[in-house]
Chain A
Amino acid sequence: QSALTQPRSVSGSPGQSVTISCTGSSSDVGGYNYVSWYQQHPGKAPKLMIYDVSKRPSGVPDRFSGSKSGNTASLTISGLQAEDEADYYCCSYAGSPPYVFGTGTKVTVL
């Protein structure tokens, strides 16, 4: 049950794109197409942004996109906006037990 590895922080200027990586193993990220991403603003509950690697729930802007290659998943935020500044967590289905979260990444909008 080792946590998935994410960079501690990424940053970008408004309008730029940033990508957050999420590295696991063949037992989690690489073994299933069930990676989800969550956005968490300070003092708030997490919010689902991406599920099933690349699908967006209703209401999530299309500048958020997800992908996966091998044991690494990625979240890209295009056209970065001030309100995107938050912590982001990846999560993967891992069989039994079912969930493993990433270490979290702080996105800073410069």
Chain B
Amino acid sequence: EVQLLESGGGLVQPGGSLRLSCAASGFTFSGYAMSWVRQAPGRGLDWVSSISGSGTSTYYADSVKGRFTVSRDNSRNTLYLQLNSLRAEDTALYYCAKDKGGCGSTNCYYGLDVWGQGTTVTVSS
């Protein structure tokens, strides 16, 4: 069974840092691009970052560029998101999601077919 399990969320003060992890199982992790999507309380889905299967290509939303860093360890089947300089507006449920693949590359972003249950980040003093 294909599964994604996020961890690492918590309460942090403004300006603080957190590292989120997403443990993947049930598929060839390195063969797929992965993404982070967040959802603030009562709000819609907000794409945050994506990374290719090899880890060589990374992408960020303007709202997090320069503060968040996405990475992956294909030997551990784990995706990461380092959150620095956190702001109140970063408070959200953070989901990791797997790209559906099928484009002949590990750098395609045509749909997210598997989602984790999310980990909550709260930025507050």
Contacts and interface: CB of A to CB of B under 8 A. Distances in A.
Interface in B13-37: 35, 37
A102 B118 CA distance: 20
Interface in B72-113: 95, 97, 100, 109-113
A25 interface: no
A47 B50 contact: no
Contacts of A47: 115
Interface in B43-60: 44-47, 50, 59-60
Contact of B45 (A52, A97, A104): A104
Interface residues of B, number: 23
Contacts of A3: 44
B66 to A, nearest CB: 14
Contacts of A34: 109-111
A34 B44 CA distance: 20
A99 B95 contact: no
Interface of A: 1, 3, 34, 36, 38, 40, 45-48, 51-52, 57, 87, 89, 91, 93, 96-104
12 contacts: A38-B45, A45-B118, A46-B97, A46-B115, A51-B111, A57-B113, A89-B44, A91-B112, A93-B110, A97-B50, A97-B59, A97-B61
